[in-house]
Every structure is written in C-alpha cells, then in structure tokens.
C-alpha cells in the first residue's frame, strides 16, 4: 500500500473513530437519564412479576428472566409467564380472568352449518386438559448473527403451562357440524372490541386433533393478558398460532393473507422438502411468498439447561446438570445428551417420563468434573431422529424465527 | 495515542449506539415523519432499537403498510432514507448543529399528530380530538394537572368525548424533556384561545414527573373531573 493511501485511510478511520466516540458518549448519557422513566412489567400488566423484562410497552411484550424461568421447572406460573401481544386488547392487561358474560364465538367457513355460540356455554361441555410448551417463535432471536429484526428475545419467551377447556372437535360434534372437503386450514380471528386492530392466524387442519378452546390456565381462569376469557390453543404449535381472545373460527381452503401469516412468522423453505429450513446467507433478504416459505407452525425440538446457570460456581467433582427439553409432541423425545468438550463426546442424561408430550420434559445428568472452568452443552433427540444444530446460526433468517441451536453454559467447578 | 483511541473509540461508540435509549431517535431529516407515523400503533422503542440495512427497512415498511400504515410515496421515501441512514448497519452521520431558532410547541406536536391529527381534530373512532376537548378539561377543577399527567404517563380506560367512545391506550411521553412537554401543552392550550391561562412551565412538568402515575391512575384522575 502506498504511503499516501495509508495516510488517507488513517484520516478516514480517525474521523470515523471520533464520530463513534462522540455518539457513544452522548447516547450513554441520554440513556442513563431515561432509565427511571420506563414502566415496569407489573405496571403494564396487573399481577405480573416486576422482574419481567419489558421488550415493548405497546404492544405489550414481556420476557421472563432466565433465572426466574429456571426457578419453576415444573410449570410456569401466570405471574412470570412471558407475554407477546401483537395487538393489545384494551382493558385486558391483567393476570386475573376475564368475564365470559357476553363473549360470543362465531364458527363458520367451509362447514355445513355455521353457528354462533355464547362462550359461557363452553362451561357445560366436557373439559379437557393439556400441558404444553407455549413459546414465541422468536425465542432465542438475539443469538442470531448478524442481528435480525424484532423483539430481542434471549431464551425467556417460553413457558410450560396447563390449559383446560373444550376440544374444538367436541364443540363441532355437539353442534352436528361437518367440515367441507376443502377445509384445509383453521383460521382464527381475535376480538376487535375496543377498536383493536385485526389479528388472524391460520394452521393446517391437522391441528384440529388437539385444538382446545382454553378457559383455564394452571387451574385458574385463563388470565386476560394471556387470551382470557377464551383462547384457541394448538398443542405443539408456536405461540403465535394460539389466538388470544378468539372471536371467530373459520375453516378455509387457504392460509389467510394478513401480515401475521405472510411475510411475518415464516421461514424460507422448499415446499414438501424434508429440511426444516432453507439456509440463507446471513444478512440477506428473502422474497417471502406462500410457496417459497413455511409458517412458524410446529415447535422446533429444543432443550434448555436450567442448572448450573451461566457464570455460576458449583461444588465438584460431581456436578448435577439439569434442564428441560421439548418438541412438537408428534413423537416422543428419545434422549438428551450433554457434552463438556464442545461435542466431541456426549453423555446421556436421564429423561423424566417417556412417550409423546406437548409439555416440556425434565432431564438431568451427573457429571464428574475437575475444578476449573467448564462449558456444558445440551441437545435433545426425538424418535424420528430430529435434533438441534450445534451452530444455531445455520437457520439465520431475517426476522429471526425458530432458533434452536444447542445451549451453552459456562460455569466454574470449585 | 491514536492507536489506543482506534480501539477504544469504536468500542465506546458501539456501546453507546447499542445502549441507545429506548425512544431516542437520532436527529436527522425525516425524524418528524417517523414520530408522526409510527407511534399510532406501537412504541418508538421498536424502531429505535433496530439496526437494519436499507433493503430490510424497505421490507419492514412494506409490512407496516400491510398493517395499516398510510403514507404517500414521498413520505415513504423520506422515512426509508431516515431509517436506513440513522438506524442502519453503519454508524449515522454526525448530528446537525443545534437549531438556531428555539424549538416550538408545533415541532414537539409532531409526536402527537399521527393519532390526534395535524390540528388536533382527532381520528374517530380510534383517536379522540384534542381541540375543544382540552378547553373542556381545563375548565374543570384539577383539569390542568390531569392534562399534564395524561401526556406524561398516558391513559387507559374507556372515555367518551364529543359523543364518541374511545378505548384505546394512550401512551405516556415521559421520555420528552420538561421543556418540550411544557411547549407541547402550551401548543394545545393555544388552540383553545384561553388568553388568561397561565402557561405550563418546565418546573411544573418536573414536579408532576415525581408522582410516577400508571395510566389507570391517570384515568381515575380523569373520572374525578366529572366531564360531561
């Protein structure tokens, strides 16, 4: 490189450096001054734990801090369960239940007998219970590099909850409703009361098998902020598909065309091809269409390490490593493996329970570790051989959906 | 010396850039349009935290149009330029020198007009009018403090204004400075032609901030006004 060129570059980078410095100093000062002005989670939603991280005030988006999530490994309580509203329903920002009085539900589309139902009638139909993972399809987004757009979730956009309510297929049967041949999708609409913006989402008709009109969560009336008085839940499907405050259910021939269905909440895919995602060059955009992408439907197989936690110091040499794992519930999980040498060798953990499950399954392993620094990673496997990528960035997509790369935890053995 | 700065500078800059306060949009042409158009539906924080390429911002705008954003082609181009320049993948240009003239209430009102209209006429049934209604509020005992609280902390609850019911969420604007909020409030008062109304002052705003009310508490303040 010629001297002149070098000098020019030095000038240029000196200018850039100064620019960055000035900007940084100014912004640090400003953001410190703002800190007290941001409302806390309990101010935004009555009854939520104040420790929840506010990712957005409007619409309300709250993330469960990871240590809090891990402190309730059986079931996630309503106080700490994450919130991801796309549309806020005015007046429904509380963990208390919402009144069924006056709530109506319309069922139509490609059926022989459309009908409208007083939602409180659901209480007199047979009730079913399902424990399932509720997870935002953007959970883990902030691990994608380069940065993708959307709420910067770490791993706290997930919970394990028990819904109770009426199976959609039982309701159809009780009304003597038959589906038309072309009823290929279930399209659910959220209430628009109080002039709320529309929210519509479609899932494949397969989801009818387990679909539940949920009225209760964890044994209590379904919290208003989580979709009470009635939410249409699809066990095994990502959070976005479980339409809160459901007002209308249609059986349709095609997916709906609102932004929540296209281009949002989709990943690149080759239609009918057996690969979870069509890999993209990170940072590039993709021309999403109904035929070159798939919606965030089935929950991707995943596992989380709840103990030890990042940065912790634990007693050795026998170290208990534990966490939870889940898939879409279509087949059982077969194993969770842990490794402390970056994946060179794996140690099989003990799974609590076998068989299919929409809820997460706890696992644990006891490792013999020397004093010093360690990094443990975990990955789940299921009966059709699905597992998690060692490098989650392989699934990079511009909106950052469906991250399921193995989790890494660094800790010290005393 | 320079070598050290080369390492330290970008680091400090990057930290600051990433720590960008939730609502702090950098100054630049097009910012007013972002303030006016984006806040009707969501936080500005959602915008301020992103760092996207021009191509991606373009796609985001397309998405927003699908979700109801109304912009002319010129407005869209100006917003895209602003976003790609000031919230892009490269650091933004240096901020323009401080304005020679003092800021006006009309400039601060850019934050409000996306919902309440350029001259406070509202946008029923989603967003209530301000013109006329502000006079109603200020005519009640406690109205002055309520108006300030509503702008600072937001409002949640069903209200009836000029025969129309509104039940949306009014966000708080506590992130604006005391000076800006006083200017804004006096701008609203100015529409009503209340010659003897003592103007809001930055000190008054500062004192009101201390109370840190929730939008529901502001709503109960409103109910005490017994508006028609």
- Show pLDDT as tens, one digit a residue, over chain A (414 residues): 344 444 444 444 444 444 444 444 444 444 434 444 578 999 899 999 999 999 998 899 999 999 999 999 999 999 999 999 999 998 899 999 999 999 999 999 999 999 999 999 999 999 999 999 999 999 999 999 999 999 999 999 999 999 999 999 999 999 999 999 999 999 999 999 988 999 999 999 999 999 999 999 999 999 999 999 999 999 999 999 999 999 999 999 999 999 999 999 999 999 999 999 999 999 999 999 999 999 999 999 999 999 999 999 999 999 999 999 999 999 999 999 999 999 999 999 999 989 999 999 999 999 999 999 999 999 999 999 999 999 999 999 999 999 999 999 999 999
* Chain B residues near residue A31 by CB distance under 8 angstroms: 16, 19-22, 24
| CA gap A139, A62 in Å, rounded | 12
Percent of chain B with pLDDT over 70: 88
For chain A, the 3-state helix, strand and coil shares in percent, each to the nearest 5, are: 20, 35, 50
Which of A:253-282 have CB within 8 Å of B?
258-259, 263-264
Q: Do B23 and A197 touch (CB under 8 A)?
A: no
Assess: ipTM above 0.95.
no
pLDDT digits (tens, 9 = 90+) for B171-205: 888 888 999 999 999 999 999 988 889 999 999 99
Please report residues of B whose CB lies closer than 8 A to that of A14.
Answer: 2, 6
For residues B9 and A229, what is the distance between their CA atoms, to the nearest angstrom?
53
- Per-window interface: A 19-38 vs B, CB < 8 A: 19-28, 30-31, 33-34, 37-38
On the question of pLDDT at B3 being above 60, the answer is: no
At which residue do the structure tokens 């900007």 appear?
A23
- Residue A32: the pLDDT is 39
List, as ranges, residues 25-44 from B with C-beta within 8 Å of A. 41-43
More reliable by pLDDT, A335 or B16: A335
Residues A192-218 have pLDDT tens digits of 998 899 999 999 999 999 999 999 999
Contacts of A23 in chain B (CB under 8 A): 13, 16-17, 91-92
Higher per-residue confidence, A69 vs B168: A69
Q: Which residue has 């409103």 as its token pair?
A: B222
Residue numbers in B near A91 (CB within 8 A): 156-158, 167
Between chains, do A197 and B158 touch, taking CB under 8 Å as contact?
no
Inter-chain contacts counted by CB atoms under 8 A, chains A and B: 132
Confidence of residue B100 (pLDDT cuts 50, 70, 90): low
Average pLDDT over residues B3-9: 49
Q: In this predicted structure, what is the pLDDT of residue A15?
A: 46
In three-state form (DSSP H/G/I as H, E/B as E, the rest C), the secondary structure along B6-71 is: HHHHHHHHHHHHHCCCCCCCCCCCCHHHHHHHHCCCCCCHHHHCCCCCHHHHHHHHHHHHHCCCCC
Rounded to an integer, what distance in angstroms lies between the CA atom of residue A107 and that of residue A186? 10
Asked if the C-beta of B53 comes within 8 angstroms of chain A's C-beta atoms, the answer is yes
- Give residue A43's pLDDT: 87
Tell how strand A115-118 and strand A104-109 pair up: antiparallel
Q: Which of A29-43, A87-101, B2-16, B151-165 has the highest mean pLDDT?
A: A87-101
Q: Do B12 and A20 touch (CB under 8 A)?
A: yes
Question: Is A12 part of the contact surface with chain B (CB cutoff 8 Å)?
Answer: no
Instruction: Write the DSSP assignment of A301-340 as a string of letters.
Output: PEEEEEESPTT-EE--SEEEEEEEEE--SSS-EEEEEEES
Q: What is the pLDDT of residue B114?
A: 84
The answer to whether A398 faces chain B, any CB pair under 8 Å, is yes
Interface of B with A in 199-218 (CB under 8 A): 214
């Amino acid at each position: 490189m010629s001297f002149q060129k070098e000098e020019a570059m030095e000038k240029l980078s000196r200018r850039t450096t100064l620019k960055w410095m000035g900007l940084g100093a100014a912004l640090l000062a400003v953001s410190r001054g703002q800190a007290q002005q941001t409302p806390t989670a309990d101010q935004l939603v009555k009854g939520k734990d104040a420790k929840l991280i506010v990712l957005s005030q409007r619409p309300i988006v709250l993330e469960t801090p990871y240590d809090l999530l891990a402190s309730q490994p059986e079931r996630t309580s309503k106080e700490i369960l994450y919130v991801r509203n796309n549309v806020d329903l005015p007046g429904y920002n509380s963990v208390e239940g919402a009144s069924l009085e006056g709530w109506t539900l319309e069922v139509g589309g490609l059926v022989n007998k459309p009908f409208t139902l007083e939602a409180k009638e659901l209480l007199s139909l047979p009730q079913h219970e399902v424990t399932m993972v509720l997870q935002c399809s953007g959970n883990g987004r902030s691990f994608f590099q380069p940065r993708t757009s959307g709420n910067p979730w770490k791993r706290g956009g997930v919970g394990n909850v028990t819904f109770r309510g009426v199976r959609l297929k039982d309701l159809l049967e009780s009304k003597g409703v038959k589906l038309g041949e072309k009823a290929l999708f279930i399209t659910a609409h959220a209430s628009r009361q109080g002039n709320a913006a529309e929210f519509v989402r479609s899932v494949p008709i397969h989801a009818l098998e387990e679909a539940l009109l949920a009225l209760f969560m964890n044994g209590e009336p379904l919290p208003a902020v989580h979709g009470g008085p009635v939410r249409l839940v699809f066990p095994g499907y990502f959070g976005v598909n479980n339409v809160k405050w459901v007002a209308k259910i249609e059986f349709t021939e095609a997916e709906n065309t609102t932004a929540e269905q296209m281009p949002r909440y989709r990943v690149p895919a080759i239609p009918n091809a057996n690969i979870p995602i069509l890999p993209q060059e990170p940072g590039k955009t993709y021309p999403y269409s109904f035929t070159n992408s798939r919606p965030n439907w089935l929950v991707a197989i995943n596992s989380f390490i709840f103990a030890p936690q990042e940065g912790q110091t634990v007693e050795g040499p026998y170290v208990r490593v534990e966490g939870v794992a889940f898939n879409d519930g279509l087949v059982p999980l077969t194993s969770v493996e842990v490794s402390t040498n970056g994946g060179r060798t794996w140690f099989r953990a003990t799974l609590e329970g076998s068989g299919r499950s929409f809820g997460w399954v706890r696992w644990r392993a006891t490792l013999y570790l020397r004093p010093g620094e360690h990094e443990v990673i975990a990955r789940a496997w299921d009966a059709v051989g699905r597992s998690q990528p060692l490098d989650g960035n392989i699934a990079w997509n511009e909106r950052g959906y469906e991250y399921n790369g193995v989790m890494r935890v660094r800790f010290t053995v005393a | 010396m320079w070598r050290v700065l080369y390492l330290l500078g970008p680091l400090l800059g990057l930290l600051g850039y990433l720590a960008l306060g939730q609502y702090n949009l950098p100054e630049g042409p097009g910012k007013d349009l972002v303030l006016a158009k984006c806040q009707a539906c969501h936080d500005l924080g959602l915008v301020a935290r992103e760092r996207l390429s021009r191509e991606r911002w373009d796609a985001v705008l397309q998405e927003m149009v699908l979700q109801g954003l109304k912009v002319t082609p010129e407005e869209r181009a100006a917003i895209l330029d602003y976003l790609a320049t000031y919230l892009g993948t490269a650091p933004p240009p240096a901020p323009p020198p401080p304005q020679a003239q003092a800021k006006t209430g009309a400039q601060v009102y850019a934050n409000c007009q996306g919902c309440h209209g350029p001259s406070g006429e509202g946008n029923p049934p989603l967003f209530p009018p301000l013109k006329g209604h502000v006079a109603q509020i200020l005519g009640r005992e406690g109205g002055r403090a309520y108006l300030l609280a509503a702008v600072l902390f937001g409002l949640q609850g069903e209200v009836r204004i000029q025969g129309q019911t509104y039940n949306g969420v009014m966000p708080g604007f506590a992130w604006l400075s005391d000076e800006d909020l006083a200017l804004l409030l006096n701008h609203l008062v100015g529409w009503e032609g209340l010659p003897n109304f003592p103007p809001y002052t930055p000190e008054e705003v500062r004192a009101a901030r201390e109370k840190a009310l929730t939008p529901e508490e502001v709503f109960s303040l409103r109910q005490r006004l017994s508006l028609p």
